[in-house]
Homo-oligomer: A and B are copies of this chain.
Amino acid sequence: MDQVDIFKALSNKKRLLILEWLKDPAAHFPDHESHSNEFGICVGQIQQKAGLTQSTVSEYLSLLQRTGLIESTRVGQWTYYKRNEAAFERLKELINKEL
């Protein structure tokens, strides 16, 4: 994934929203604390909030993961996604220097 691919991943309103939600999961997914833990947020929760189909959300999360901006953990039948803040920091440094 090069710089262009990262910008492409960020070139979508819904994906930007998802990344924003994952910055503060407790604030954006306050549903009884279920399906929300130290591993992140599961696909279903994100799908519900995003208002997209399950397949679309799954693909978007997969795409974001390929950029390295988020990471996933499988627990039972759930896949939890969370931000990779180190990757965000590296991206910001790159942008600050190269752009």
The reply on A88 being an interface residue by CB < 8 A is yes
Q: How many residues of A contact B (CB 8 A)?
A: 18
A interface residues, Cβ below 8 angstroms from B? 3-4, 7-8, 10-13, 16, 19-20, 88, 91-92, 95-96, 98-99
Which of A4, A13, A88, A99 neighbours the largest number of chain B CB atoms within 10 Å of its CB? A99
Question: Complex: how many Å from CA A73 to CA B13?
Answer: 32
CB distance from A32 to the nearest CB of B (A): 28
Question: Complex: how many Å from CA A99 to CA B88?
Answer: 8
Please determine whether B96 and A91 come into contact, CB atoms closer than 8 angstroms: no
Q: Assuming A4-B13, A8-B11, A96-B96, what are 18 further A-B pairs, CB within 8 angstroms?
A: A3-B16, A4-B11, A4-B12, A4-B16, A7-B7, A7-B8, A7-B10, A7-B11, A10-B99, A11-B11, A19-B99, A20-B98, A88-B99, A91-B99, A92-B95, A92-B96, A92-B99, A95-B95
